[in-house]
């Protein structure tokens, strides 16, 4: 019997799986280990990533040592406000410092990407005592604008200032007083020249709770900051070239805190640190 050769059945070509586009650049934000846990940082931000890589610590450790000395004096269930939190180089160490005493931190950061990075750091380390607010602190509710920011180019993203000029992203502005906080024990403020509006919007909170206030002064000036405490019983100390401590007399007298930093507006010799 003659066998017939049959042509093979036509084969339907299989669709090729999609090919992922080539990675053209490194991610702007990376995860780095530190003595405080894992931080999400911008790889191009001046000082931040380099310090964590080389030392495992932040570039502001001297400042943090002074802040932690004050945080040790705070009571249980204390509340800390971090105005201008950036990626959390103060908020995260503060959260660790007050965790055992059930302290919480409210961190305000207007840059959306920096606030996102801080939220990621919180999730990576299970810091359940930090609350992030993606907004700015000011003297009245409103809306201001950030400049256009390229997070893929080297810059100091901690020196970004708000403006009324519509240029980059819009940012909601709130007053600290409007938050109706149950208490406030420590108020850190580093908002690139916006310190006075932020303090004016926190006047009732400061009057009511008399928090320690750690404020960056170099853009605003010490005198302008001191005027915001007019009528209140506060003393002022220049802690370094950038920051001043506004110390409420009620808390200063009741603590073992002493400083050899020069007292602003007082000509007497500075206090000697206690043993």
**In a structure prediction context, what are the per-residue pLDDT tens digits for the chain, which is 275 residues long?**
444 545 455 555 555 555 555 554 689 999 999 999 999 999 998 788 999 999 999 999 999 999 999 999 999 999 999 999 999 999 999 999 999 999 999 999 999 999 999 999 999 999 999 999 999 999 999 999 999 999 999 888 888 888 888 788 999 999 999 999 999 999 999 998 999 999 999 999 999 999 999 999 999 999 999 999 999 999 999 999 999 999 999 999 978 888 889 999 864 434 434 44
Q: Are 40 and 29 in contact (CB under 8 A)?
A: yes
The CA distance from 239 to 189, in Å, is 14
Q: What is the rounded distance in angstroms from the CA atom of residue 232 to the CA atom of residue 253?
A: 15
Listing DSSP states for the chain in one string gives -PPPP-PPPPPPPPPPPPPPPP--S--SEEEEEETTEEEEEETTBTTHHHHHHHHSS-TTHHHHHHHHHHHTTPPTT-EEEEES-TTTTTHHHHHHHHTTTT-EEEEE---HHHHHHHHHHHHHHT-TTEEEE-SEE-SSSEEEEPPP--TTS-B-TTS---BSS-SS-EEEEE-SGGG--S--SEEEE--TT-HHHHHHTTHHHHHHH--EEEEE-TTT-HHHHHHTTTTS-EEEEE-SSSEEEEEEHHHHHTS-----SPBTT--SPPPPPP-
Query: Rounded to whole angstroms, how far apart are CA atoms 218 and 220?
Result: 6
Burial class (CB in 10 A: 0-12, 13-18, 19+), 151: middle
pLDDT at 269 (0 to 100): 39
pTM of this prediction? Answer: 0.86
Fold of 60-253: Rossmann fold (3.40.50)
Alpha-carbon gap, residue 94 to 36, rounded angstroms: 10
C-alpha–C-alpha distance, residues 65 and 260, integer Å? 14
- What per-residue confidence (pLDDT) applies to 165? 84
pLDDT at 20: 53
Query: What is the rounded CA–CA span in Å between residue 223 and residue 236?
Result: 10
Q: In the chain, where are the structural domains located?
A: 60-253
The predicted pLDDT at position 155 comes to 85
Q: To the nearest 10°, the Cα dihedral for 200, 205, 211, 212?
A: -10
Q: What pLDDT score was predicted for residue 248? A: 97
Mention every residue, 6+ apart, whose C-beta is less than 8 A from residue 107. Answer: 82, 85, 88, 91, 118, 130, 131, 132, 133
pLDDT tens digits along 194-229:
999 999 999 999 999 999 999 999 999 999 999 999
Strand order of the β-sheet with 142-145 is: 136-137, 170-174, 142-145
- The predicted-structure confidence for 126-162, as pLDDT tens digits, reads as follows 999 999 999 999 999 999 999 999 999 988 888 888 8
What was the pLDDT predicted at 3? 45
> Rounded distance, CA 48 to CA 60, Å?
10
How many angstroms from the chain centroid is the CA of residue 188?
A: 9
């Amino acid at each position: 019997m003659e066998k017939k050769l049959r042509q093979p059945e036509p084969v339907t070509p299989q669709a090729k799986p999609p090919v992922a586009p080539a990675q053209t650049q490194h991610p702007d934000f990376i995860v780095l280990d530190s003595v405080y846990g894992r931080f999400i940082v911008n790889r191009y931000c001046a000082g931040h990533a380099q310090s964590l890589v080389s030392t495992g610590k932040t570039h502001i450790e001297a400042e943090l040592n002074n802040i932690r000395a004050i945080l040790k004096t705070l009571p249980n269930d204390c509340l800390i406000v971090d105005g201008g939190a950036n990626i959390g180089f103060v908020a995260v160490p503060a959260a660790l410092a007050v965790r055992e005493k059930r302290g919480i931190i409210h961190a305000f950061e207007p840059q959306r990407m920096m606030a996102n990075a801080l939220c990621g750091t919180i999730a990576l380390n299970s810091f359940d005592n930090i609350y992030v607010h993606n907004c700015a602190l000011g003297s009245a509710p409103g809306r201001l604008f950030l400049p256009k920011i390229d997070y893929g180019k080297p810059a100091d993203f901690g020196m970004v200032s708000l403006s009324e000029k519509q240029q980059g992203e819009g940012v909601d502005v709130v007053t600290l007083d409007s938050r109706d906080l149950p208490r406030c024990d420590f108020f850190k403020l580093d908002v690139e020249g916006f310190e006075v509006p932020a303090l004016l919007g926190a006047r009732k909170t400061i009057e009511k709770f008399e928090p320690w206030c750690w404020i960056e002064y170099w853009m605003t000036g010490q005198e302008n900051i001191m005027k915001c405490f007019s009528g209140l019983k506060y003393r002022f100390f220049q802690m370094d070239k950038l920051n001043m401590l506004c110390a409420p007399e009620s808390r200063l007298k009741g603590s073992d805190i002493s400083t050899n930093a020069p007292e602003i507006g007082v000509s007497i010799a500075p206090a000697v640190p206690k043993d």
